[in-house]
Structure 1
Amino acid sequence: MSLDNPTKPHEALAAHLEGDLADVNTLIRARMASKHAPRIPEVTAHLVEAGGKRLRPMLTLAAARLCGYAGAYHIHLAATVEFIHTATLLHDDVVDESEQRRGRPTANLLWDNQSSVLVGDYLFARSFQLMTETGNMRVLEILSNASATIAEGEVLQLTAAQDLATTEEIYLQVVRGKTAALFSAACEVGGVIAAADPAQIQALYDYGDALGVAFQIVDDLLDYSGDATATGKNIGDDFRERKLTLPVIKAVAKAAADERAFWTRTIQKGRQDDGDLDEALRLLAKHGAMEETRAEALAWSSKAKEALDPLPDHPIKTMLRDIADYVVARIS
């Protein structure tokens, strides 16, 4: 590993889990096939093979291996997690009317909204078929609960995102639903399938939960401060989509009357003019909202690392710690 081009933590974990990941990819390709509807594999392949990090399924594989699992069902569970994630992305892009994901046109733009929604439904159904094949009721309970929590978080965001009364507590509830629920479930089922002890399973859940919250806070922060070529998103998308994320919630809490009127017009009422994004960025900077948000992301990353303490010493444990650092590295 050269100092000029150090391996990123998720790449190191992927290399460690190379055989398992190859099996997951084989299973995903087999299960996203459809004899009767060729559009299903077309749309799915566009997202699944778009160069995503596969972080969530890797967490399942890593958790199982860390807890000494020697069976084959962690492959099913990792594929399940990736299908749930891909289904939610397809649905999210329709809801948000997004045109770009991972630097490429979204499926709803290339095909249409109907295809994105229906293929997302198909992947949810496939994910449930996969998880039942493990024959483990606890795994089924965790992943089905996570699927419901994700949907609940998305619906809560619909009402909370444009309401200036939305608090940081409600924001955290949204994030725990739409993002952290799948991270925590992905980790937890790895421990469950490995028959780890309850304290270790709880540790894996806590790690995934904190990692997911940090991940989403960083994402929301980068929407106002990131590099569009690096993030694959346009700067200010959340502002244009009138999403009340943590930086804005913090700025609104400190806003003077004229500033509050600005947020009411642009976010709550959706009347946006040229130059409004620049004004939003000025207000975020004025009230230190970006720095405070950054500090919270770093705190959640630390919480994720601490959560790993009850787990056995293992190279994977070190890699999971490194991933918690990596998630916040772009804002550190």
Structure 2
Amino acid sequence: MREVDNVIAQRLSSSVPLIGQISQYIIAAGGKRLRPALLLLVCGALGYQGRQRFNLAAVVELIHTATLLHDDVVDASTMRRGRATANETFGNPASVLVGDFLHTRSFQMMVEAGSMRIMEILSEATNVIAEGEVLQLMNMHDASLDEAGYLRVIRSKTAKLFEASAQLGAVLAHSPAPVEAACATYGQALGTAFQIIDDVLDYDGNTAEMGKNIGDDLREGKSTLPLIAAMQRGTSAQADIVRTAIEQGSTESLEAIMAIVRETGALDVARAAAHAEARRAMDALDCIPSNSHTASLLQLAAQLLERRT
């Protein structure tokens, strides 16, 4: 990961000072680096030790960072990773444009791998992510969204880059098609579980632990799995409270809604869905060689269910 961070630092250079300033601001905020770690672990599990793994791990992190910059503008977010978002600090126009720079820089870097397969995977991933963002925008304030519609959004918006990261590790290792497909399945399932838990924490976490404001999803009118389950399992009065909050994008009833998702068992429903996805991820590793890296991939899926940030 130090090698990946070195690549990122080198490739964020620009003759335009503001680009470097904003890029460094959001990269320096830290983060879990899950996507590059996933790529590196798959490479290790499959025996690839070439330096191209550092370059592509940096690429997926830059793509992820670009989406964060754009997301925070769209969602009007003010806090991420425990401090002010880039759009709050530098303004919306600068954040959007620097996000564009990170996207284009990542494409410059992926070309250097000299592989059409790698280009195919990453170009498809960035396109699907964009589709997921638009789909989520269309679903804002829609309290009729069901679980299938919710999963379609998060598998596009979040899980797709996890999927691509794991798949790229298999491609770098010149793995056969079944192994590449298994790695892609692992990444998709892991990313889906990650996002479900993220949505659970919006009603079962706290600002200090998470580094972002509790209730942001509700303010943005997002109908996530805990709310979908609460409306399905609650009384008509409870469902009405949740439905109204989603449609109005209001956090005035946040305390009541947090109580509703607990009382109806909606958080347990969502955590069970995340557990099923984590299990699917672990099952996908059956055809991967057994070694310390594979053990780490299994552990990553298991520990994901315990995350609080």
Q: Above 0.5 in TM-score? A: yes
- Structure 1 position 30 matched with structure 2 position 10: yes
- List runs of 5+ in structure 2 lacking aligned partners: none
Residue 66 (structure 1) shift: 1.6
Quickly say closer, same or farther: Cα 1:89–1:299, change in 2 above 3 A.
same
| Deviation of the 1:169 alpha carbon | 0.3
Q: Which residue of 1 aligns with 2:140?
A: 161
SS of residue matched to 1:135: coil
Per-residue deviation, residues 215-269 of structure 1 (Å, max 9, x unmatched): 0000000010013211112222212222111000111223444334323322113
Counterparts of residues 8-23 of structure 1 (less than 5 Å): 21-23=1-3
Shift of 1:300: 1.1
Query: Of 255, 261, 264, which residue of structure 2 is paired with 1:278?
Result: 255
Percentage of identical aligned residues = 45
Q: TM-score, normalised by structure 1?
A: 0.89
Q: Match of 1:309, SS? A: helix
Q: Give the corresponding residue for 1:330.
A: 307
Unaligned runs of 5+ in 1: 1-20
Aligned to 2:229: 250
Quote how far apart the aligned CAs of 1:71 are. Answer: 2.2
Report runs of 4+ in structure 1 exceeding 2 Å deviation.
253-265, 269-273
- 1:86-97 maps to which residues of 2 (within 5 A)? 86-97=65-76
Q: Is the 8 A contact 1:265 1:272 kept in 2?
A: no
Distance between the aligned counterparts of 1:312 and 1:261, measured in 2? 51
Equivalent position of 1:231 in the other structure: 210
Deviations 1:139-198 (A, max 9, x none): 100011000111111111112232111110010000101110000100101110110111
Tell me the equivalent position of 1:311. Answer: 288
Change (3 A) 1:271 1:103: closer
> Which one of the candidate residues 209, 224, 248 is aligned to 1:269?
248
2:191 aligned partner, one-letter code: G
CA distance in 2 between partners of 1:123 and 1:304 (Å): 29
Show the 5 A alignment for 1:210-225.
Answer: 210-225=189-204
**What is the aligned length?**
308
Cross-structure match for 1:300: 277
CA RMSD of superposed structures (Å): 1.4
- Asked if 2 retains the 8 angstrom alpha-carbon contact of 1:27 and 1:79, the reply is yes
Q: Deviations over 1:298-319 (max 9, x none)?
A: 1111111111110011100001
- Cα distance in 1 for partners of 2:250, 2:284 equals 44
- Residues 41 and 296 in structure 2, CA contact (< 8 A), matched pair in contact too: no
- Which residue of the partner structure matches residue 298 of structure 2? 321
Mapping of residues 60-71 of structure 1, within 5 Å: 60-71=39-50
